Amino acid sequence: MDVIKKVTTPKGGIEILRTLIDSTPKIENALNLATKSHKGQYRKSGEPYIVHPICVASLVAFCGGDEAMVCAALLHDVVEDTPCKIETIEQEFGQDVANLVDALTKITEIRKEELGVSSQDPRMVVSALTFRKILISAIQDPRALVVKISDRLHNMLTLDALPHDRQVRISKETLAVYAPIASRLGMSSIKNELEDKSFYYIYPEEYKNIKEYLHKNKQSLLLKLNAFASKLEKKLFDSGFSHSDFKLVTRVKRPYSIYLKMQRKGAVNIDEILDLLAIRILLKNPIDCYKVLGIIHLNFKPIVSRFKDYIALPKENGYKTIHTTIFDESSVYEVQIRTFDMHMGAEYGNSAHWKYKAGGVDNDDYHEGMRWLQNFKYHDSDLKNDPKEFYELAKNDLYREDIVVFSPHGDTYTLPVGAIALDFAYMVHSDLGDKATDAYINSKKALLNQELRSGDVVKIVKGDKIIPRFIWMDQLKTSKAKNHLRIQRRNRLKEIDTKSMINILATFFGRSVFEDMDLKDYKNFEEKLTDCGVEITLTEAMKSFENLSKLTEEIENKVFSLKEDAILEYQEMSLWTRGLRYLGFKTNVLNFLTPNRQWQCKELEHFSVCSSNALEIKQVLLNDCCYPKYGDEIIAIVTDLKDPKAIVHHKFCKKAIAEVDAKAPMVYIEWHKRDRTIYKMMFYLGEKKSVLAGLLTFLNRNECNIVGVSYLGYKDKYSSHCEVSFEIATDKADWIRALINRKYQDRIVELSSLDDAYES
């Protein structure tokens, strides 16, 4: 990879490419077409543009890519940047290469104007639409991801030619999307390069400090590491291993890895990080891995909490290695044990299987390692018009540490750290999650929201009925469970909104108009309104007073408002009569047609209440059964029609839903709009228990209202994160952002307002 960094001419790139993959007629033809198509084009650095696709192809070959992938890498910019058409590529190179190039072409580069971030937000968040394109395109053929990541890596290796602001923007984008995707693909060598290069441009001072420390202490670190390696090697020889049986690889942790460890531990100095040194042992077969593990644990003191066996329980991306951390003479060493084949898969990811495993992409290791991509297909089917929500769900699958739990039959399930029993239920089957009543963890009865630990045996008891658990959304960790509840919630909300709006209309127009209507048939009510020419839907009307006014106006104009002489003349034949009968009315509504019926909208307490001049609401009360908080979705039930009061409930309150089903009088209500901005901050806590208390006190003293706090972290002593939501007066938003960034810069993972968008 270091050699590729130095390539500046087509000739040099071609020489490297031919050392990484055997040349074939198809590869040579792709090289010739790319060279011809990009003739006369140059990069910002001044080098011929063709150098870029050649280097990308070399990186793909380095990762174990096959002939089609290398050809696609050579041609990946041809369709987008030159007159060459995808039909030409299909004709010259076949359907396989053409499909790959087409997928890569659809994944457009993120331009500055495409980034969906607030102008106030200095912490760039990647465009969710492009993020979705990358992952959804990869579902059909994941090889496109390998080419795309290689493309990004070469761009990172040659970033020096760009202005500083673009260097930082592209690096943040790389760290937010491309590095995690590379990690999920198991391409650790590529991921490491992407992270370190991004770190270099985003935090130049921190990068410089770490590099200077490593350079200054290089001699002592290497002496210590080599001494331990020699000691370990001797133990292996004494136990019967020969030189040909294993290979030891020593290394000092990478700059970005060290930086993350410092952040997690709240360390000020690098000296506080104990496990800077690592050693990897490569062996011929899996059984030898366990023999070596036994030798190490018998001769050195292991840190039990850091032991992980990914050979017996591989990661979801197919990663297989035994991890252990040991003490030796006051020093801490991280030891990784794996076979040579496992090493190839760990370094170059699932793409390595195309080159190093027989049978091409149809082998079991490949399919097992790429299973996580199917989650994004599941998300996209319901989130085509909401890239922001897709991004929020998808990043749960990318940015996570995993645990492995078991079913009572011994089946293994990979879940994110912090997952609860209900996550497991949805992972097994959606129906099991919907109807789960109880959980048993390690044969002991437990709550469905109990957090799971790696190695737990989980049994879920299933009932007969679906149990809505929308308020558990924030406790769930898996995107599959979250998405399923989100769809359930959306459908339930539509039903409640439709019934509520019918009640609001009945209250406004007069119950006598609606009393003979079969409201159980609410699903057809909106369809019947549409047939009468009403364009505003009932659910849209529940979103704003403006929409509600439009709906009532349309009902009056298109359903009720025919002149009396027309009514008398046409009666049974009139649109009025036909419309009302079609809607389900059986009573004469002539007495209803009064010209002075109007909405009244008034501010009461924290609410805007909209009632009619025939039913004036004078008081608003919060019901004591659900206590909705500011911003929650609410409805208002009218009590005591002689002295009307609006009783406010959360929309999902069981008592409120019963009132809605009973056709109770209702009025439209919404929270009084406040000039406030709500922020969401992901915050690193570290080991210090007082950090969260200090943060909340700091926010409170600076006029922030805490909306919510949720624990996101891993409940061990090595890492811990939380998510804090707070609101503040909009005119003070810039001030509080600057204050937070200045005081807690090293602990903020993400800080964004609900106004920040993820648009294309």
Q: Which tens digit of pLDDT belongs to each residue from 393-425? A: 666 666 567 788 999 998 888 888 889 999 999
For residue 260, what is the domain's CATH number? 3.30.460.10
> Considering the domain boundaries, does residue 456 fall inside one?
yes
For residue 423, what is the domain's CATH number? 3.10.20.30
- The yes-or-no verdict on residue 519 having pLDDT over 50 is no
Residues 74 and 55 in one domain: yes
Task: Specify the number of domains making up the chain.
Answer: 5
Closest to 509 in 3D by CA, of 466, 555, 454, 544: 555
- The yes-or-no verdict on residue 111 having pLDDT over 50 is no
Residues 554 and 685 in one domain: no
Residues 406 and 463 in one domain: yes
Token pair recorded at residue 666 = 């209702």
Average pLDDT on 596-618 reads 73
Token pair recorded at residue 552 = 């009532």
Residues 167 and 219 in one domain: no
- The yes-or-no verdict on residue 296 having pLDDT over 60 is yes
- Per-chain mean pLDDT for the chain: 79
- The yes-or-no verdict on residue 587 having pLDDT over 60 is no
Residues 402 and 463 in one domain: yes
User: What is each CA distance from 49 to 35, 54, 74, 247, 637, in whole angstroms?
Assistant: 9, 9, 11, 40, 67
Interacting residues of 489 by C-beta distance below 8 A, sequence separation 6+: 468, 470, 473
- The yes-or-no verdict on residue 567 having pLDDT over 50 is no
> Considering the domain boundaries, does residue 201 fall inside one?
no
**Strand, helix or coil for residue 302:** strand
- The yes-or-no verdict on residue 301 having pLDDT over 50 is yes
User: Kind and range of the H or E element at 301?
Assistant: strand 301-302
> Considering the domain boundaries, does residue 198 fall inside one?
no
Q: For the whole model, what pTM was predicted? A: 0.64
Interacting residues of 104 by C-beta distance below 8 A, sequence separation 6+: 72, 76, 137, 144, 147, 148, 151
In this structure, are residues 134 and 145 in contact, taking their beta carbons and an 8 Å threshold? yes
| Residue 619 pLDDT level (bands cut at 50, 70, 90) | confident
pLDDT of 189 = 87
Average pLDDT on 658-686 reads 82
Residues 18 and 167 in one domain: yes
Instruction: Report how far residue 31's alpha carbon sits from residue 380's, in angstroms, rounded to the nearest whole number.
Output: 35
- The yes-or-no verdict on residue 319 having pLDDT over 80 is yes
For residue 714, what is the domain's CATH number? 3.30.70.60
Could you list the residue range(s) of the whole structural domain that residue 681 is in?
A: 676-753
Residues 224 and 292 in one domain: yes
% pLDDT > 70, the chain: 76
> Considering the domain boundaries, does residue 613 fall inside one?
yes
Which residue type occupies 582? Y
Instruction: Report how far residue 516's alpha carbon sits from residue 533's, in angstroms, rounded to the nearest whole number.
Output: 22
In this structure, are residues 758 and 705 in contact, taking their beta carbons and an 8 Å threshold? no
Interacting residues of 376 by C-beta distance below 8 A, sequence separation 6+: 132, 135, 136, 139, 390, 394, 397
Average pLDDT on 508-522 reads 54
Closest to 452 in 3D by CA, of 399, 385, 490, 407: 407
In this structure, are residues 412 and 493 in contact, taking their beta carbons and an 8 Å threshold? no
pLDDT of 578 = 44
∠ CA 714-720-724, nearest 5°, is 115
pLDDT of 566 = 42
> Considering the domain boundaries, does residue 23 fall inside one?
yes
Instruction: Report how far residue 583's alpha carbon sits from residue 228's, in angstroms, rounded to the nearest whole number.
Output: 84
Instruction: Report how far residue 546's alpha carbon sits from residue 544's, in angstroms, rounded to the nearest whole number.
Output: 5
In this structure, are residues 125 and 143 in contact, taking their beta carbons and an 8 Å threshold? no
∠ CA 559-565-570, nearest 5°, is 65
Residues 158 and 17 in one domain: yes
- The yes-or-no verdict on residue 264 having pLDDT over 80 is no
Residues 383 and 284 in one domain: no
Token pair recorded at residue 376 = 């994004």
Domain end: 671, 703, 718, which one?
671
Average pLDDT on 634-655 reads 87
Tell me the per-residue pLDDT of 494-506, one tens digit each, with 9 for 90 and over: 889 888 888 888 7
Token pair recorded at residue 657 = 């839903």
Q: Residue-wise over 607-617: b if at least 16 C-beta within 10 A, else e?
A: bbbbbbeeeeb
- Positions marked catalytic: 80-81
> Considering the domain boundaries, does residue 96 fall inside one?
yes
Instruction: Report how far residue 30's alpha carbon sits from residue 93's, in angstroms, rounded to the nearest whole number.
Output: 8
Closest to 180 in 3D by CA, of 169, 192, 168, 170: 192
Residues 437 and 503 in one domain: no
Q: Residue-wise over 537-571: b if at least 16 C-beta within 10 A, else e?
A: bbbebbeebebbbbbbebbeebbbebeeeeeeeee
**Strand, helix or coil for residue 10:** helix
- The yes-or-no verdict on residue 530 having pLDDT over 80 is no
- The yes-or-no verdict on residue 435 having pLDDT over 90 is yes
Domain end: 454, 487, 520, which one?
487
Residues 268 and 164 in one domain: no
**Strand, helix or coil for residue 686:** coil
Residues 446 and 527 in one domain: no
Instruction: Report how far residue 146's alpha carbon sits from residue 64's, in angstroms, rounded to the nearest whole number.
Output: 10
Sheet holding 619-622, edge to edge: 599-604, 607-612, 666-671, 634-639, 645-650, 619-622
Domain end: 671, 703, 734, which one?
671
pLDDT of 33 = 94
